[in-house]
Structure 1
Amino acid sequence: MTASAPPLAPASKDPPISPTDIAEFAHGLALHLPGDWAADVESHTDPVLRSGLIGRVWTPYDARPSLARFGPVTDAVLADASGQALYLLPHRTDRVLVCPLVPGALHEDFTDRVLAPPCIAVPAVAARAAWRLRDRLLPHYLHAHNEALRAQRAARACPDVRHRAPAVSPSAAPVPVPAVPHRRRA
């Protein structure tokens, strides 16, 4: 006799956090992050205008269209003096989705060669979110930014030499292949 899996929890039907809450959250988060971050809050009712931001999200390309499913929203961009930027989207009542943006000084030919930093959902409390970002996102973002910048500088220094992609970090180990082949349902 096999035990059945517990039923999945239904998706939250609560509306995402309000526009005033995302603005307060973004400004509070800018104060809690290390360095000098500034918040820019905008309301996007036209998905075409948001597509410019979604296109700059530094994530594997197949994940970008899923960001487009968010309807008209008030979102925010946090930017620091070095050109790094974070895109904040309301996710649930108590969560905000934080996506790293490709810095404007980097060309996509070089950012596509490095492992993209993760997009993460954080609590809608600025101090707790800042801790998670410092721990889970910013180190990966800084590493990816430095690797892409190093590759871009090398390419500019020797334009006639074909440059290899930087080594992928050890945390990006290949997915193990299961020992037993997957069984199909009858």
Structure 2
Amino acid sequence: MPSARTDLDIFAAGLADRLPGAWTSEYHRHLTYPDQFPVAVQIWDTGHVSYVATGFVLGHDAVLHGPDQQHLYLADRPRYPHQFVVAPLEPDDAAIKPHHFDGVEEPNGIVVPNDPARAAALIARRVLPRYEQARQAVRRNAAEQPEPPHRQAPPQVAGRPSTTCTVGPPTTRESSANRSPPGTPVTASVTGPSRSTVRARPPS
């Protein structure tokens, strides 16, 4: 008989203890499917981890907080009881704006085993270097161009005043499937205050 899934909160704490530098873990339990969106839209990934975080009812997740405002998302990998998914979160800095991510490649996340020591070694080798490179690129963009580029005003038509249109921030459309059990795949269109639309693909 296969063994039960490792508890996420226990695994997150063990993983934080083994990552390089000082890390702590923060465990979240979600009563409804939309509760997982506020963190999910911050995931700096355009592949498998974003697909898991937005396409399944997970029931819980964890965030690891590290040195120099590094943050990692951690969740169960649905249908794989011996694995977890981990990915960086976008910088949480008021000075960082959507245009600062232009031209910066997402660091993306990976699948890790339920062994904290092995998982920490994989993250240190495959995730943290890409994460740091992406963060430095975003910071350079913020320093070089704090404000978004100005658009040229539209030409005025004789006899008519020019008009402008202000577009508000995107909204999050919550799925009605918020009572589904954890691990259930959900078809939903999720948008939020993130800089880009999540492009999800199924796991290989």
In the alignment, structure 1 residue 51 sits paired with structure 2 residue 41:
no
TM-score when scaled to structure 2? 0.64
- Superposition map of 1:1-186 within 5 A: 17-18=5-6, 21-60=7-46, 64=50, 66-91=52-77, 92-105=80-93, 106-156=96-146, 159=147
- Name the SS for the 1:68 alignment partner: helix
Structure 1 residues 137 and 62: CA distance shift in structure 2, 3 A: closer
- Name the SS for the 1:60 alignment partner: coil
| Number of aligned positions between the proteins | 145
Provide the aligned C-alpha RMSD in A.
2.5
CA–CA distance in structure 2, aligned partners of residues 112 and 86 of structure 1 = 21
The CA deviation string for residues 94-134 of structure 1, in whole angstroms up to 9 with x for no partner, is 10000110020133322243000121000111100000001
Q: Which runs of 4+ in 1 moved over 2 A?
A: 14-18, 60-67, 106-109, 159-162
Q: How many angstroms does 1:63 deviate by?
A: 7.3
Structure ranking higher on relative contact order (CA contacts 8 Å, 6+ apart): 2
CA–CA distance in structure 2, aligned partners of residues 119 and 109 of structure 1 = 22
CA–CA distance in structure 1, aligned partners of residues 38 and 133 of structure 2 = 24
Q: Is the 8 A contact 1:46 1:72 kept in 2?
A: no
CA–CA distance in structure 2, aligned partners of residues 66 and 81 of structure 1 = 26
Q: Is there any run of 5+ residues in structure 1 with no aligned partner, and where?
A: 1-13, 163-186
Q: How many angstroms does 1:160 deviate by?
A: 8.4
Q: Which of the pair is proportionally richer in helix?
A: 1
Q: Is the 8 A contact 1:113 1:148 kept in 2?
A: no
The CA deviation string for residues 65-103 of structure 1, in whole angstroms up to 9 with x for no partner, is 553122142210001241111110101211000011002
- Name the SS for the 1:27 alignment partner: helix
CA–CA distance in structure 2, aligned partners of residues 107 and 16 of structure 1 = 42
The CA deviation string for residues 132-175 of structure 1, in whole angstroms up to 9 with x for no partner, is 0011111000000111111111113xx5878xxxxxxxxxxxxx
Q: Is there any run of 5+ residues in structure 2 with no aligned partner, and where?
A: 151-204
Q: How many angstroms does 1:45 deviate by?
A: 2.5
- Name the SS for the 1:122 alignment partner: strand
